[in-house]
Amino acid sequence: MTSYDAKKIIDIHQHLHSDLPSDPALRVKALESLLVEQGLVDPKAIDAWIDLYAEEIGPKRGARVVARAWTDPAYKERLLADGTAAITEFGYQGHATGHVLAVENSDRVHNVVVCTLCSCYPFALLGMSPGWYKSAEYRARIVREPRAVLREFGVDLPENTEIRVWDSTSELRYLVLPQRPAGTEGLDEAALAALVTRNSMIGTDILKARM
């Protein structure tokens, strides 16, 4: 009779699940395959859109806005006064950038963004939203215990730093203007933009100069 090793079966089970994509990913792949099979979608078009958001749009647009604000005081003033108008100067237009308020981090104030109702997000500036941003846990906890949640992201703020949590809606979305990292005085705008992360523009990251 074949022996039954419970531990071995559990190990195999866990290994299989670690190699499989999440259920949403499986559903998306199945839907994509069905649409392609029916001739309703060109797979090359899907790849092109993915590349566009990952490489061209992604967080790179927002990073350019941030870098310009760091290097051009007049632009920074315009950005904080009217985020939508300042962003439009780059030619970035559309619903996701139509109602944007920029909020600036400083030594005294740290801003972080959430959408407690759903997951409104300026994707035209920051690319696709991260999974954690859409999670019920983040949306609930960042409002109740922002300091603890930020600490889990590696953002350990002094107790005297005020944390402001901004709740996005479909009518108003937020862009965090992170502090410019120390030691970057000699960098040009393009080099500065390369330092900016998506999370820093949400408020869950603090930037550091790369060595």
Annotated binding site for Fe(3+): 115, 118-120
Binding residues: 115, 118-120
Please indicate whether residue 129 is annotated as part of the active site: no
Of the residues 115, 129, 170, 200, only one is catalytic, namely 115
Of the residues 119, 135, 170, 200, only one is catalytic, namely 119
Please indicate whether residue 118 is annotated as part of the active site: yes
Please indicate whether residue 168 is annotated as part of the active site: no
94, amino acid identity: G
Instruction: Report the alpha-carbon distance of residue 7 to residue 54 in Å, rounded.
Output: 41
Please indicate whether residue 170 is annotated as part of the active site: no
55, amino acid identity: E
Of the residues 22, 106, 118, 135, only one is catalytic, namely 118
The closest of 165, 80, 94, 168 to 129, measured between CA atoms, is 168
User: At residue 176, what are phi and psi to the nearest 5 degrees?
Assistant: -80, 125
Asked if residue 86 lies in contact with residue 65, where contact means CB atoms within 8 angstroms, the answer is yes
List, by residue number, the catalytic residues: 115, 118-120
